Structure 1
Amino acid sequence: MVAFLRLAARRIAMLPVMILGITLMVFVVMQFSPTDPAYNALGEGASAKAREAFAEEHGLNDPLFVRYFRFLGDLLHLDLGSTVPPSTPVADRITTAFPLTFQLTLFSLVLAVVFAVVFGVIGAVWRDRWPDQVVRVVSMAGVAIPSFWLGVLLIQQFALNTPLFPTGGYTNPADSFTGWLHTMTLPAVSIALAVSASLARLVRTSLVAELERDYVRTARGNGLPEGVVLRSALRNALVNPLTVLGIKVGYMLSGAVVIEAIFDLPGMGKLILEGVTGNDTALVQGTVLTIAVTFLVVNVLVDLLYLLVNPRIRTV
């Protein structure tokens, strides 16, 4: 346990450093944007003199490092700037949009893990037989199909041809959980399929290796029920797939941005699209930074979970 606490402390201590690196990367990249903040704020009819005065007033002519430290100071006060006129705080827009993206990502993650465990166990238990072959084919197809294309197919089949789900829109779960589930199922499945397909292959491989270990043969030789043996082996086999779960969550976050645009969901994806089409640098910078920091925090949490469930780490 002491070793676990020491390793966990290292992971947590590195988090502020990594967040600082992300802020620097996002800020520097956004400085290469051809968009002129003065032009966006003052409009097309603004003169060159007015734009220059705006740039001077807001410190846009200051050196890069000065603007970066001013940006960090604003971040400490949760100030991400304002959108182009009509001006609204970017933080307020993100506060409204981020919960939906988080809900979609979490729902997709739950579906992906359930599908991966079910199909991974089927493939391992019926190894090299027809159920295993079906799981392999489905897994390869799931990895190969882009999530946005799958989303379009799901809309066509289950929203247009067979109207079981809506083509888009969002229902707040506080208003109606059934309505929320109705609107989020197709987007979540679109994101979860590729993740569950790749995770299922990892679960199958890990479980096959676990079922060949000595303790499994000993348990079977002692007459333990197959279900008990399988549950014990599966618990140990899930340790390895857990190591890639953080990366998969990052994939889901990025996939949610695209899927939200397809299903007309007012999440972070819609904000990024609005910022890009409207040349709103502050909005794009704020949403990208929020997604990147979320991805980083989730990866650290997954690392801590891996340290917690891995017996070999706990006994170091």
Structure 2
Amino acid sequence: MSKGYFRYFLNKLVWLFITAVFAFVLNFILPRLMPGDPVAAITARIAQGMSNSTGMKEVYEQYATLFGTNRPLLEQFFLYVRNVLQGNFGSSFSQYPRPVADILKSSILWTIGLQFPAIIVGWLIGNTLGALAAYLKKGFDKVLMPISIFISNFPAFGMAIILMVIFAVDLKWFPTSGGYGFDMIPNFSWDFIVSVIHHYQLPFWSIVLIAIGGQAIGMRSMSIYELNADYVKYSRFLGIKDSTIVRYVFRNAMLPQITGLALSIGTMVGGALVAEIVFSYPGLGYTLLNGVMGQDYPLISAVTLIITIMVLLANFLIEIAYGLIDPRIKAAQSE
């Protein structure tokens, strides 16, 4: 490792740490700025039917002490830090006594299983179509580009609702919500697997279709830029085969697209959560919505912390990878 690259790496690492600290503090503070009192909501639910105000007050104080909401904010922060370092994030307010870590374990697998394949498939299809549009031009480009621009400008919830209305409500080909049949218990039986695949389709394709448009537009623009670069003209003048030139052209055009893919994977937990919310898919998006509705501070903080960490790590790894791959950054480091 060169001395210049080591300084580059160290600089990025320091900024990652500073950003992570600020993000960690904000993840704690922002949920607690929400209006309302979650302990009062829990007390009202538990003490339903009680007419004794003294008894209700005792229940309230008991849960306020249990969750630590009656402590000073600074003390609550250190309690939060301790829970995070222990990896349990404390107990959920809205699903007490269930630990937040258990809720995250069950929901994050659904999110990764849905969004990781959808991001990869959307990236591959979009970049292939964009490269073909730049190289073939003519009719293919004239048809693809308007469609890509139209689809890429769709909001994520709009695409999800359109697919739901057409294929779930009108045609009744797929269910409208859930990750599996409501009358089923998760297991490894064939019936359960089929149910999961059936419920998987609409959330999956709503994410893929949104991803295709943006990737196709980006790849087409970069490919056109590279095809008109001086090195391409010079290579053709030298008589180098077009197939060889195109391979280098698309490899150069892929650099920004790889950055986009890494960021998409990094923001996977937070980037396409709308589809989970619309389809009530049992992933982190739906969990976060339930946490907000229930004013569940530990659950909200845990989900947003996971999103923050993945985004920061994705950006950091991209910066480090670029420093290793891109010759221009290497040259800048050695100066």
Tell me the TM-score normalized by structure 1.
0.84
Q: Are residues 1:291 and 2:300 paired? A: no
Q: Which residue of 2 aligns with 1:125?
A: 135
Q: Which residue of 2 aligns with 1:142?
A: 151
Paired residue type of 1:106: F
2:97 aligned counterpart, secondary structure:
coil
Alpha-carbon shift at residue 91 of structure 1 (Å): 0.8
Q: Specify every segment of 5 or more residues in structure 1 that has no aligned partner in the other structure, as ranges.
A: none
Q: Deviations over 1:166-199 (max 9, x none)?
A: 5444379987788766543432321233333223
Alpha-carbon shift at residue 239 of structure 1 (Å): 1.6
Check conservation: 1:187, 1:259, Cα contact below 8 A.
Answer: yes
Q: Distance in 2 between matches of 1:210 and 1:64?
A: 55
Check conservation: 1:123, 1:204, Cα contact below 8 A.
Answer: yes
Check conservation: 1:307, 1:314, Cα contact below 8 A.
Answer: yes
CA RMSD, 1 decimal: 3.1
Q: Distance in 2 between matches of 1:225 and 1:238?
A: 20
Check conservation: 2:175, 2:198, Cα contact below 8 A.
Answer: yes
- Within-5 A mapping of 1:190-209: 190-209=206-225
- Within-5 A mapping of 1:1-316: 2=2, 3-44=4-45, 45=47, 47-48=56-57, 50-52=59-61, 54-56=63-65, 59-84=68-93, 86-127=96-137, 129-159=138-168, 165-170=174-179, 183-249=199-265, 252-315=268-331, 316=333
Check conservation: 1:147, 1:194, Cα contact below 8 A.
Answer: yes
Distance 1:50 1:162, change over 3 A: closer
Distance 1:203 1:293, change over 3 A: same
Distance 1:175 1:105, change over 3 A: farther
Q: Deviations over 1:43-86 (max 9, x none)?
A: 45353355346535654343322321221122111121212354
Alpha-carbon shift at residue 234 of structure 1 (Å): 0.7
Paired residue type of 1:123: A
Tell me the TM-score normalized by structure 2.
0.80
Q: Deviations over 1:7-58 (max 9, x none)?
A: 3343344333322211211211112123324324544535335534653565
Q: Distance in 1 between matches of 2:324 and 2:175?
A: 41
After the TM superposition, which of the residue ranges 100-109 and 304-313 deviates more from structure 2? 304-313
Alpha-carbon shift at residue 98 of structure 1 (Å): 0.7
Paired residue type of 1:116: G
Distance 1:307 1:115, change over 3 A: farther
Q: Deviations over 1:245-279 (max 9, x none)?
A: 45545665435322112233211122122223333
Distance 1:4 1:175, change over 3 A: farther
Q: Specify every segment of 5 or more residues in structure 2 that has no aligned partner in the other structure, as ranges.
A: 48-54, 181-185
Of all paired residues, the percent bearing the same amino acid is: 27
Alpha-carbon shift at residue 291 of structure 1 (Å): 2.2
After the TM superposition, which of the residue ranges 45-54 and 100-109 deviates more from structure 2? 45-54
Q: Distance in 2 between matches of 1:88 and 1:166?
A: 29
Number of residue pairs the alignment of both structures matches:
315
Check conservation: 1:120, 1:204, Cα contact below 8 A.
Answer: yes
Check conservation: 2:269, 2:284, Cα contact below 8 A.
Answer: no
Distance 1:143 1:270, change over 3 A: same
Alpha-carbon shift at residue 110 of structure 1 (Å): 0.6
2:90 aligned counterpart, secondary structure:
coil
After the TM superposition, which of the residue ranges 242-251 and 273-282 deviates more from structure 2? 242-251
Distance 1:55 1:252, change over 3 A: closer
Distance 1:68 1:51, change over 3 A: same
Check conservation: 2:134, 2:220, Cα contact below 8 A.
Answer: yes
After the TM superposition, which of the residue ranges 237-246 and 267-276 deviates more from structure 2? 237-246
Q: Distance in 2 between matches of 1:117 and 1:199?
A: 6
Paired residue type of 2:126: A
Alpha-carbon shift at residue 293 of structure 1 (Å): 2.2
Q: Distance in 2 between matches of 1:310 and 1:185?
A: 38
